[in-house]
Amino acid sequence: MSQQNKNPMSPCACKILSITKETDIEWTFRIESSFQANHGQFMQLSIPKTGEAPISISGIGDGYMDFTLRAVGKVTNEIFEKQVGDYLYLRGPYGNGWPCEKLEGKHLIFITGGTGLAPVRSLLNKFYNNMNLVKSVTLISGFKNKESILFKNELVKWKEKFKTFYTLDNDNIKGWNSGLVTNFIKEIDFTSYENNYALIVVGPPIMMKFTGLELEKHNVPDENIWMSFERKMSCAIGKCGHCRIDETYVCLDGPIFPYKKAKKLID
């Protein structure tokens, strides 16, 4: 019986296959898993008697999932103590995922800030390996400084097939731009896409807010923009109320929203 057929509220013990240190406070855990998940969904990772935390899936492969975690609390700190061969408990997947059927055949623009790159990493790799599914891919990805850069090897790899703008808010190093991601939206020739394009925006709320406003200045239609509110996740089933924004339960209705809805949810 696959893990997918079990009670979705009952966590399954899954073995840690590898651990990759991305930065001093962010590591990627590759977990053995037969769960069937869509790009953009998330899982609940837990340790018995410690607690659980909602984590976006940053990689999907044959028999595994990747989760990129930041050590920010009791649960994630405990997870960071685990070693290859140890077990974590997973339940899910939850959320609606990216609308892949609406993205294929288009020019895609990804705009990410900091750890916002993690929830789109698997989707970027999907299109990197299947460029025939899209017209083109542009990636604008920003980090606070050189110490916070994630997925360094993949950032180099993606340059091979994607048009890329990598930038640092507070550092100036060789091969990188300086400034906020919003500064590079003007480099995109939206008119050349003849409205056959879509944007995916993920990052801190303030970054998503001003990215949306900048896109509006460039007359990008609301229906062409998608945002993820994965940072709002908590219980994943709409019971705790922590993800509620007005009448919207992000874990049940999202975390992926079209901009027409998303701009009403941003603080």
Which positions make up the binding site for [2Fe-2S] cluster?
235, 240, 243, 251
Measured from the Cβ of residue 85, the count of other Cβ atoms closer than 10 Å reads 8
Quick one: residue 51, left, alpha or beta (phi over 0 = left, psi -120 to 50 = alpha)? Answer: left
Question: What Å distances lie between residue 125 and 60, 119, 130, 158, 255, CA to CA?
Answer: 9, 11, 8, 8, 20
Residues in binding site? 235, 240, 243, 251
Strand partners, 88: 14
* Cβ count within 10 A of residue 219: 8
Query: What residues have CB less than 8 Å from 261, skipping those under 6 apart?
Result: 248
Selection from 182, 22, 206 nearest residue 117 by Cα: 22
- For residue 77, what are its two tokens? 């700190």
State the Cα–Cα distance between residues 258 and 235, nearest whole angstrom: 23
Cα 81 from Cα 251, distance rounded (Å) = 28
Q: Which residues contact 151 (CB under 8 A, 6 or more apart)?
A: 22, 117, 121
* Bridge partner residues of 248 (DSSP): 245
Q: Supply the DSSP string of 115-167, one letter for each residue.
A: GGGHHHHHHHHHHHH-GGGSSEEEEEEEESSGGG---HHHHHHHTTTSEEEEE
